[in-house]
Amino acid sequence: MSQYVFPELSQPSLPVEGDGRRYPVARVFCLGRNYWWPDATAGKAPEREPPFFFMKPSHAVIDAQGELNYPPLTEEFCPEIELVIAIGKSGQNISVEDALEYVWGYGAGLDLTRRDLQMAAKEQGRPWEGSKAFDGSAPIGAIVPVSKIGHPSTGAVWLKVNGVDRQRSDLANQIWSVAEVVSHISRSVQLNPGDLIMTGTPPGVEGIQRGDTVTAGIDGIGNLSVTIKHSFLEGNNNV
């Protein structure tokens, strides 16, 4: 056993549906656009551009329940409902045909975004990191094992704010399939058990305010509900 100069942070993890054990989180890959948004398809037939990825730190992953902080430095805080792929086996250069063997389970999660910072970064040609990789930026629901639900390729993907629809699509509308996404990342890095892949969000993303309640889910996989705290300081007593 290694000795550390101070106590290590706890291992980030997520609940597993129907199991008392938890899924230990390693890395978090996030796919850019993976549904057709109206602005991208106006007046022309959509073309599949190669997928691109960004990352969030593993400690950004939190259980998608209860109250969340409104993050600092933003006036445009946006939740994005996304299918989350949970990897269960190491592999690299995985073929599309073999890719589903590497998936351990699925979840529904929120890619929380400081969109004003993202737009500023895009304009300046800078990394998106500050807009995507802040504390608590990846609330994710329970991981449902493939052994229970197989590999869903259809199912409503939806998000409501205070009960009003914001996003509504279907897994069938994803531009890149789960197998294609897993194969693609594995050609860049070795995927390992514990790696999560957030697979992009449908159109309808808009900002939320302090006090708002976000309910979201993917039919056949899971639902989540979180409320944004009324003030930033209110929540920091127990951190």
Residues that bind Mn ion (CB under 5 A): 80, 111, 201
Exposed/middle/buried for residue 43 (C-beta within 10 Å: 0-12, 13-18, 19+): exposed
Stretch (H or E) spanning 180: helix 178-186
What are the phi and psi torsion angles at 151 (to 5°)? -120, 90
Nearest residue (CB) to Mn ion, 94 versus 110? 110
CB of 77 vs Mn ion, minimal distance in Å: 14
Nearest residue (CB) to Mn ion, 111 versus 195? 111
**34 near 159, Cβ under 8 Å?**
no
CB of 29 vs Mn ion, minimal distance in Å: 11
Measured from each CB, the residue nearest to Mn ion is: 111
Residue type, 122: K
**25 near 104, Cβ under 8 Å?**
no
Q: How far apart are CA 114 and CA 39, in angstroms?
A: 20
Nearest residue (CB) to Mn ion, 17 versus 80? 80
Nearest residue (CB) to Mn ion, 16 versus 140? 140
Per-state percent for the chain, helix, strand, coil, to nearest 5: 20, 35, 45
CB of 16 vs Mn ion, minimal distance in Å: 23
Instruction: Indicate the SS3 state at residue 179.
Output: helix
- Token pair, residue 66, equals 């209860």
CB of 132 vs Mn ion, minimal distance in Å: 8
Q: How far apart are CA 170 and CA 152, in angstroms?
A: 11
Nearest residue (CB) to Mn ion, 16 versus 157? 157
Nearest residue (CB) to Mn ion, 167 versus 177? 167
CB of 201 vs Mn ion, minimal distance in Å: 5
What size, in residues, is the chain? Answer: 239
CB of 80 vs Mn ion, minimal distance in Å: 4
Nearest residue (CB) to Mn ion, 16 versus 31? 31
**167 near 34, Cβ under 8 Å?**
no
CB of 3 vs Mn ion, minimal distance in Å: 39
